[in-house]
């Protein structure tokens, strides 16, 4: 799955904590076109819920999510 989905932009939020990953994700997703994918990498524990909730409220879609020991990776598809 993750190999088939290609992000047009990667946002590195490692070392940043709430609410910065959410703010940066919102800003960056506005800079890509509908249908494109934003990759977000973060180690903020609050980001798991924050980014999933943001995507749903804003009408975007988390097409891939993985959690490793020290970070999380999101692929968020921008919708209209």
Catalytic residues: 18
Strands (E), the chain: 9-13, 37-42, 61-67, 72-77
Q: For the chain, first and last CA: distance in Å? A: 23
CA gap 60, 72 in Å, rounded = 18
């Amino acid at each position: 799955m993750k190999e088939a989905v290609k992000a047009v932009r990667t946002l590195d939020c490692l070392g940043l904590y709430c609410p910065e990953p959410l703010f940066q994700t919102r800003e960056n997703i506005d800079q890509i076109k509908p249908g494109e994918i934003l990759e977000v990498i973060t180690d903020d524990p609050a980001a798991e819920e924050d980014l999933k909730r943001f995507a749903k409220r804003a009408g975007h879609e988390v097409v891939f999510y993985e959690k490793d020991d020290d970070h999380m990776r999101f692929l968020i598809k921008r919708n209209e």
